[in-house]
Structure 1
């Protein structure tokens, strides 16, 4: 993979030329102390019963084109309280909403902006995880397709001139395998390279990757670089949305625990080269899958899914607003009360039940517990879960 040196890179995250009155109205709900949740949340909600987006919303991406804010999101047409259901998954399609100010949104009457494919198409069982940028009068979308009852899925590309009607261009790149998801793209205008940060599920818990391409579709996933975030010992760190400015590279990400990210907190990491990352603030906002939009050098919008809302029925889109620079986020306190630590935090227990193999329970901060089955010391099976500790009772919820 070819990466440009830091001094040769530019960013497509330049400040938009917005009406000063819009900027001033947004500043009125912002805080200099960090990303402050908007009191009028949610800003985009699920549709009425029976509509195409009645189930849940997520994986939003936000941009500005010609003074109009555009938000794209995946939507479940059906979503129950089940942790997983293939038929519900196959109701996933991609929607679009617009706003004059980034606060008040109207759903596109032409929705879904990107429907799932026909019976002969790879994406017939759903489309999801959109990421969109706007360049030279063209909306460029990367998205995932397939899954559900179809074991294989892949990453694809589509374009639109009006932002409402997209033309699918097909699967992209080399080595585009099942497992690639949650992509975020930065276009370095000076080098011409597209930087794609994504999650590769088969490499959990270290599934964050970076791959580059000189074109929108030429990514060679076989050449991808594994991304690690130093200073954060959460078992899984996902949803890596990256911005680039004169101060360096900035990533907004979250801890990840199935089934619905019950303890998710959006975090901030910094890098000088886009590859080597260090956690700077692990308590920005409750929630996950956060997309950050730059309005000025000292004004940012964050759109995210609520805590305990990953792929969950009724999940909506929330807004938080920050007046300040990204590099100053390292010292900002969170806009929520921090739960007192459990007496179990930091402790390990080795437990065997009946004929089951022994398991190590390692209790960590923010309700996370990492479990390792000890019977196979060369390749132990390890996963994380969420725990609630009340008195003498410990309830563990998650994969196991």
Structure 2
């Protein structure tokens, strides 16, 4: 075979490869982030009820205001309970804690996220022992617990007993989508039209750890963002076998919320920085990436 023909065939093969091989499944807005020079923008309050901040919190730009919900706890206070804190900001950098914090402590609140739909806020959170539950609010401050999430197998039977945490919700065209992990060993999806019963799309996970080293042991999904008519999941994972683990932030992409590909390029922040529980927020000009465990750091899209 002549060298010219080899080159021609190789060029044709490269053109026919899926675009994600070249990283084009990750938009330029999500490829590189630069840390804000005065991080952290929010941190725990030693000696107080929120002496430590735990796992995923949530930041929402609501009109001209940034709103943050976070999990706080004090390991010296018994019994140990994860409580809900709230803070606001005009610039997403300088935050003021709510005067009545914690705003909710009737039930264990951890690893939460918020969906605002019309005039109602929906909070999906882990309870004790990684049992997810739903809360609602009209103002984002006073919350009412609606109960645990009833997740079923495709057969209609309840999923096996055990933890199912990091609930991440998305609403579109009359359907709620609930992503959850089980022992950080994969991401499952269940859907509902009434928020009373959630049924698995598949009893097998849609996203699994690895084979890359940075997430080969554990993964979780923190957020869904729709951008350029595609769905992007803010993920975190670890390949560190011993504790304390180093967690990293990365992205996955889908066209239908059911079939996912990990975005090329791997972690968008250095693994050694151990930044996880990422949340994307568009500030009107560009995306910001906040990481929220165990302090809140801000990163600007370059």
Which of the five TM-score ranges fits, normalised by the shorter chain?
0.7 to 0.9
Q: Report the CA distance shift for 1:319/1:261 in structure 2 as closer, same or farther (over 3 A).
A: farther
What does residue 197 of structure 1 align with?
179
What does residue 254 of structure 1 align with?
236
Q: Match for 1:235 among 195, 209, 216?
A: 216
Q: 1:233-264 deviations in whole A, cap 9, x for unaligned?
A: 33234231221233311122122246656332
What does residue 193 of structure 2 align with?
214
Tell me the CA shift for residue 113 of structure 1. 2.3
Check if 1:93 corresponds to 2:83.
yes
CA RMSD of aligned residues (A): 2.7
Instruction: Measure, in 2, the Cα distance between the counterparts of 1:260 and 1:294.
Output: 34
Q: Is the 8 A contact 2:235 2:251 kept in 1?
A: yes
Q: Normalising by structure 2, what TM-score? A: 0.75
Q: Is the 8 A contact 1:230 1:277 kept in 2?
A: no
Matches within 5 A, 1:255-274: 255-256=237-238, 257=240, 262-274=245-257
Q: Is the 8 A contact 1:200 1:208 kept in 2?
A: yes
Matches within 5 A, 1:353-364: none
Check if 1:102 corresponds to 2:81.
no
Tell me the CA shift for residue 54 of structure 1. 0.6
What does residue 53 of structure 1 align with?
50
Instruction: Measure, in 2, the Cα distance between the counterparts of 1:210 and 1:67.
Output: 33
Instruction: Measure, in 2, the Cα distance between the counterparts of 1:109 and 1:260.
Output: 36
Check if 1:165 corresponds to 2:142.
yes
Instruction: Measure, in 2, the Cα distance between the counterparts of 1:231 and 1:65.
Output: 36
Tell me the CA shift for residue 75 of structure 1. 1.6
What does residue 34 of structure 2 align with?
36
Instruction: Measure, in 2, the Cα distance between the counterparts of 1:43 and 1:255.
Output: 23
Q: Normalising by structure 1, what TM-score? A: 0.58
- SS of 1:274's equivalent in the other structure is coil
Q: Is the 8 A contact 2:217 2:241 kept in 1?
A: no
Q: Is the 8 A contact 1:46 1:57 kept in 2?
A: no
Aligned length in residues = 258
Q: Is the 8 A contact 2:53 2:70 kept in 1?
A: no
Q: 1:130-188 deviations in whole A, cap 9, x for unaligned?
A: 111112222211112123xxxxx522111112211111111222437431111111111
Q: Report the CA distance shift for 1:320/1:220 in structure 2 as closer, same or farther (over 3 A).
A: same
Instruction: Measure, in 2, the Cα distance between the counterparts of 1:212 and 1:140.
Output: 16
Q: 1:79-103 deviations in whole A, cap 9, x for unaligned?
A: 7xxxxxxx87832112111111212
Tell me the CA shift for residue 33 of structure 1. 6.8
Instruction: Measure, in 1, the Cα distance between the counterparts of 2:209 and 2:142.
Output: 41
Q: Is the 8 A contact 1:253 1:290 kept in 2?
A: yes
What does residue 63 of structure 1 align with?
60
Instruction: Measure, in 2, the Cα distance between the counterparts of 1:88 and 1:144.
Output: 20
Q: Is the 8 A contact 2:121 2:137 kept in 1?
A: yes
Q: Match for 1:288 among 261, 269, 276?
A: 276
Matches within 5 A, 1:5-20: none
Q: 1:190-218 deviations in whole A, cap 9, x for unaligned?
A: x21111111112xx53x211111113443
Q: Is the 8 A contact 1:110 1:164 kept in 2?
A: no
Tell me the CA shift for residue 222 of structure 1. 8.5
Instruction: Measure, in 2, the Cα distance between the counterparts of 1:220 and 1:32.
Output: 31
Tell me the CA shift for residue 321 of structure 1. 1.3
What does residue 183 of structure 1 align with?
167
What does residue 287 of structure 2 align with?
300
What does residue 156 of structure 1 align with?
133
Tell me the CA shift for residue 32 of structure 1. 9.1
